[in-house]
Each structure stands twice: as structure tokens, then as C-alpha cells.
Structure 1
Amino acid sequence: MADQEAKGYEFEKKADKKIQGWTIFGSKYDDAAELYEKAGNSYKIAKSWDKGASAYIKLASCHLKLESKHEAASAYVNAANCYKKTNSQEAVRCLGLAINLLMEIGRLSMAAKHSKEIGEIYESEENLELALEYFERAAELYRGEEVTSTANQCQLKVAQFEAQLEQYPKAIQIFEDVARQSINNNLLKYSVKGYLLCAGICLICKGDTVAINNALEKYQELDPTFSGTRECKFLSDLAVAIDEEDVVKFTDVVKEFDSMTRLDQWKTTLLLRAKNAVKAKEVEEDDLT
């Protein structure tokens, strides 16, 4: 590893010297680019992440001098991959530079991929507002390139974040829109009940039983098979428990569903919020009597 770091240092030093000098034949930036790439690769093998990132940023500068925007974007992505190990904000900055270049040359699918990557970095740091922003940007770019399934995946992440931030109407709209888009697709139609369940759980969090029952009717019109599903019964039973302000019944309904279909962390968090809201109402009722 130490040997690879030393090699990286030598390559980088030679590249710096090329940049500072002048040449009669060829381009000093071409020569330097080759050396910076070797430096970056050697640092990467040595796991000297910050030094590797720095070499790739210098490589990007050379490609920009040579007006090779695609290669410069690739260099910034390599820098970002190094920074992901040590400095997430620098990783985001480098990915942002790559995205700008890719947008300029019309490589929108790649720009979308890296926007999604930034969203994932912010998600891992639990910065939901910024994660939401970048997943939404990725979804728009993918949709513009007709990459519908990946656009929908990004939109579903947006819906999850919106719900976590208690922006339930926005989340409900996205889940319902994706369900509507998927119903006539033979590959995607089996996911529809899951999307409608997510939309329904957001409605449960709002605690409006009239809206929940209206939505269930609408969902059955959208997907005639929905009325016979465990998901539909689950939402209907939860609505009854909310209407009756019965925490025990709410808990039992959730436990029964979870024993048959495992609830993920996102659904569990939202259902716990809804349960606490029912509990608060129950306490309020007891205080008044």
C-alpha cells in the first residue's frame, strides 16, 4: 500500500511539472492527464482517498482545458467516489460538478444517476429535505429520457421522505400517481396494492376517517382486485379503530397484519405516529369526562 502511495506521489509530481512547463509537440495537458489518472489509480489502490480525489480533480481540470467535458465529468465522479470514504460534502460538490457538465453535453440519464447518488448520500445522513430535492431532480431527468421505471423508483423515495416530513398530501399524490401509471403494465401491476397501501397509511396518519373510506372506494375503482386484498382490509380496520378512538384495536390490527406481511421500518414509523395520535385523543376524552 505504501508502495502504491509513493507511486501515486511520483505520477502526480511529474504531472504537476508537465503543467508548469511547455511543450513543442502534442499537448502538455494530454500528457499530464495520463499521469494524473495513474496517480489517482495508485492512490485509490493505496486507499489514500483524499490524495486520490485531489489527483482526479486535477485530471478533470486537464480534460476541461482539452474541452473534453465527458472525460472531465468522469474524473469528477472518480473524485467523488474517493471522497465518499472521507468527506461526504466534497463528494456532493464533485458530483454536482459532474452533473453540470453532463447536462451541458446532453447526457441526461447519467446526470440523473448522479443526482440520485447525491440523494442517497443525503438520505444516509438523514437530511431528508436535501435527499428529497435530489431524488426529485433525478426523477424529472429520468422521466425526460423515458426511463419511466427508474423515474418512478425515485418518485417513490420522494413520497417516503414527504411522509416522514409529515407532508402527507404530497406523498399520497405520488403513491396514487405511480399506482395509476402501473395498473396497465403487466410487469408493474402486482406492485399497485403496495403503493395504495402506502398512500392509505399516509391517510391514516392524517386521521381523517371519511377521507380514508373515500380513498378506499377510489382505490377499488382503480384496481378492482384491491377490495379482496389483505391491504384493503388492513386500512379499513385501521379506519374503524381510529373512528372508535380504540388504541388496543389499532395495535391488534397492526400486529395481525405484521404477522402475515412484515411491515418495513417506514410503515412502522408512520403507524406508530398514527397510534400515538389515537392515544392522545383517548387521553383527551378521558380528561373531559
Structure 2
Amino acid sequence: MAQDPRALLAKADKAAASAHGGFSFFNTGRQDKLESAADLYTQAANAFRMNKLGREAGQAFEKAADIQLNKINEPDDAANTHVEAYKAYKKDDPSAAARVLEKAISHYTLKGNFRRAATHQQNLAELFELELGDIKRAIDAYELAGDWFQGDNAEALANKVYLKVADLAALEQIYPKAIERYEGVAKSSAGNNLMKWSLKDYFLKAGICHMAAGASSPVSDKIAAKRALESYTEMDMTFPSTREYQLLQSIIEAVDQGDDEAFSDTVFQFDQLSKLDKWKTTMLLRVKETIINEDDLA
């Protein structure tokens, strides 16, 4: 039978209060009482979780972490408890989840455990993106996670996060960052036989970003896109034989000629053979808008 979380919480509060009662000379069991209180708060938190009361669980975990960190000098345990608080808060109170997870991340970085810190930094980024809808903070958090993974020689994990940075940055119209990350991942993957098959997709996305950036400076960005296409060919000599290369080349020509019908036909033909995902569809529509806008200005 599951224990009553509120009864456990009251018991924990009582144990914590008793540790601070009386004169310190006579209060010889203070450490034991505090450890017992932290354990009871943890038990209460887990009981709240069993009852699907995430916010109450998170608050109980925080009380346990406060004792572990500030009363009995167990910072490692406190960091782990803050992670559990994050898990409890995640759905019911994502802002609180972010706050406690940042405390755990700070501890892991101070300890030099950057692999673990990077994993939780990635979790924090996902929280910003999916639960809080704060895309700019999510981009920054993903980027920092990638830097930490890279610093710990976890290149594959770093690249995965950097691609997330690129996707979000592009959607936010932060095109230079998106291009930098797509091309950076492509360069680091070029010599890896297992990753080399993905190069065409990275090149396509970077090229589309070059073209989408043309909304603000169409001439310079068309030139940049052509130069980028040349550099991608130098990086991977098989790229010109791919449908992705043909799509990029065709849409660059369509934009050059201001031909939105040719652009649409090219994209349609590509989609028949390689289904376009939501990101590519969104970005290609932006590129098409640069043609329409130029026509309106003509």
C-alpha cells in the first residue's frame, strides 16, 4: 500500500524542525535528524510522484536538496536530488523545472563533469523549446551543450546538438548561425564513413539558408549560395550527383531569373522522389517569397 505523501511530508518537517531545536550543546543528534529529514522529504516526493502530483513532488525534492546542500554538506546528493526535482516539475511547472536543473548543471560544471552537465544542458534546452516555447534561450542552451560535448571529445553528440541549433536558428531567421552550424557539422562528418551519407542533407539545408537570407540582401546572398555550392562540391566530390545538389542549383537559377513557377516546379519534382519535411517546406516557401517580393518591387 502506498504511503500518504502528506503524512511523510509532515514527518519530514517535524524531523527538520527538531534538528534546529534546543541548545547546540545538547542537540548532539542534529546530523542524524537532518539526514533523516532529507530522506523523509525524498520519500514524500516519490509518494507525490506516484500520485501524479508533480509540483508537490518537486517542492519536496527541493527541501531535501536544501538540507543536503546547505545543512549536511552533501553537494553531490543535492545535485542528484535537483535532477529528480526537475523530472517531477517538468510537466506541471516547467519554469521551476528549468530553475532546479540549472542548479544541478552548475554543480556538475564546478566538479568538471562536463559530459553529465552537457546531457542535462541538452535537457534544459528541450525544456525551453518544448515546454516553455522560449526558442532563443533554447538555441543558446543547445549550443552550450554542444560546446561541452565537443570539449569532452563526444563529437557525435556535439554534432547532433549543433544540428538542432541550426534548425532552430534558421526558423528564427538567424541565418548566419544556422549556416555556420550546418557547414561545421558537414566538415566534421566529411572524413567519417558512417556520417558521410548525411552530408548532402547538411549542404541542402545550409544552401537553403543562404537563399532564404536573400530577403534582406538578395544579390549578395545569391552569390554566397553559388560560392557555397562550389565549396560543398570541393568537400564532397559525389555531391553533384545527388538530387539535393540538383535542387539547390535549380532553385538558385530560378531565383536568379525571378521565375517563381520554375521554382515551384523544381520543388514539386524533388518532393515526389524525396518527401520534404516541415522544416524544408517552411524554408523553401521563404525562398520563394524572395522571388515574389523582387517581382513586386520591379
Residue 103 of structure 1 and its aligned partner are, at CA, apart by: 1.5
SS in 2 for 1:47: coil
Q: Displacement of 1:161 after TM fit?
A: 2.0
CA distance in 2, matches of 1:105, 1:173: 31
- 2:23 match: none
Matched residue, 1:15: 12
Confirm or deny that 1:108 pairs with 2:148. no
1:70 aligns to 2:67 (yes or no): no
Residues 1:129 and 2:142 aligned together: no
The AA in structure 1 aligned to 2:16 is I
Deviations 1:175-218 (A, max 9, x none): 11110110111221111111111111101212333222221111
Letter in 1 for 2:183: E
Deviation at 1:262, TM superposition (A): 1.5
Residue of structure 1 equivalent to 2:24: none
Aligned amino acid, residue 103 of structure 1: T
Contact 1:69 1:105 in 2 (8 A): no
What letter matches 1:149 in structure 2?
Answer: A
Q: Distance in 2 between matches of 1:252 and 1:218?
A: 26
In the alignment, structure 2 segments of 5+ residues that lack a partner are: 20-26, 215-220
Pick from 180, 183, 195 the counterpart of residue 188 of structure 1.
195
Distance 1:95 1:268 in 2: 35
Letter in 2 for 1:123: E
Say which SS state the counterpart of residue 9 (structure 1) adopts: helix
Match of 1:215 in 2: 228
1:105 CA displacement: 1.9
Taking structure 2 as the reference length, the TM-score comes to: 0.90
Matches within 5 A, 1:227-242: 227-242=240-255
* Aligned-pair CA distance for 1:254: 1.0
Cα drift, residue 170 of structure 1: 2.0
Secondary structure in 2 aligned to 1:21?
helix
Please give the alpha-carbon distance, in whole angstroms, between the structure 2 residues aligned to 1:105 and 1:211.
44
Structure 1 position 106, deviation (Å): 2.0
Task: Return 233-242 or 84-93, whichever deviates more.
Answer: 84-93
Give the drift of 1:31: 0.9
User: What is the letter of the counterpart of residue 243 of structure 2?
Assistant: R
Matches within 5 A, 1:19-168: 19-22=16-19, 24-25=28-29, 27-64=32-69, 65-124=71-130, 125-168=132-175
Letter paired with 1:230: R
Greater mean deviation of Cα atoms: 97-106 or 217-226: 97-106
| Structure 2 residue 204 is matched with structure 1 residue 197 | yes
* Deviation of the 1:16 alpha carbon: 1.1
Structure 2 letter corresponding to 1:42: A
- Cα offset, 1:159, TM superposition: 1.4
Q: List structure 1 segments (4+ residues) > 4 angstroms apart after TM superposition.
A: none
Number of residue-to-residue matches in the alignment: 282
Aligned match of 1:245: 258
Letter of the 2:165 partner, please give it. Answer: V
Q: Larger deviation: 66-75 or 192-201?
A: 66-75
Could you list the per-position Cα deviations for residues 158-184 of structure 1 after superposition, in whole angstroms to 9, with x for gaps in the alignment? 112221222212211211111011011
Counterpart code for 2:210: L
24-33 or 234-243, which moves further after superposition? 24-33
Letter in structure 1 aligned against 2:212: C
Distance in 2 between residues matched to 1:243 and 1:11, nearest whole Å: 71
Contact 1:69 1:102 in 2 (8 A): no
Identity %, equivalent residues: 35
Paired with 1:227 and 1:267, the residues of 2 have a C-alpha distance of 20
